Amino acid sequence: MPAARQPLPPTSPLACFPPVIDKQTAILILGSFPGEASLAVQQYYAHPRNQFWPLLSSVLNEDLTSLSYEARLTRLRAHRIGLWDVIAACTREGSLDSAIREAQHNDFAQLRHLCPALRRVCFNGKTSGKQAPLFAAAGFDTLVLPSSSPAYAAMNFQNKLEQWRGIIAQF
């Protein structure tokens, strides 16, 4: 008789990063949840094939990719752009959004207080974009963007960039 398989221990909850926001933040980009590469180094969009930083470099006409992580965040703040994730904590094996389990969303109730200048909330991909109606109902201009993740290969960089330019359009 074969030995019974022992159940795998539950995956420890993973936590997102603190928001990169301040009172001057006018545009907030919300991702779903950091991937493994980002969690490993505690930096937003750290996977080398993630197109987030190259896309924003093109949108802002400023080379963010050659800067240190802290310098990138400083430049984003100078452009009044903030970063955060929709999911505060979850369990997940790997980096795919489809593997996210037991998601707990961030509490955005204090967002107007923390970011009184906030006008536009952009969503990096469909998973975070599911929250767009809630932000629109709260009076924010919303924009769901094609994911910058290397797992989303349905669009090439140029086609993604056309939509990502909407981050700062009419702003």
Question: Residue 15 pairs with which residues in a beta bridge?
Answer: 89
Judge whether 148 and 56 are in contact, CB under 8 Å: no
Judge whether 21 and 114 are in contact, CB under 8 Å: yes
Judge whether 144 and 39 are in contact, CB under 8 Å: no
Q: Which two tokens stand for residue 35?
A: 């991937």
Q: Of residues 50, 61, 156, 159, which has the active-site annotation?
A: 50
DSSP state of 80: T
> Is there a catalytic annotation at residue 124?
no
Query: How far, in Å, are 101, 102, 103, 106, 126 from residue 59 at the CA level?
Result: 33, 34, 31, 27, 20
Q: Among all residues, which ones are annotated catalytic?
A: 50
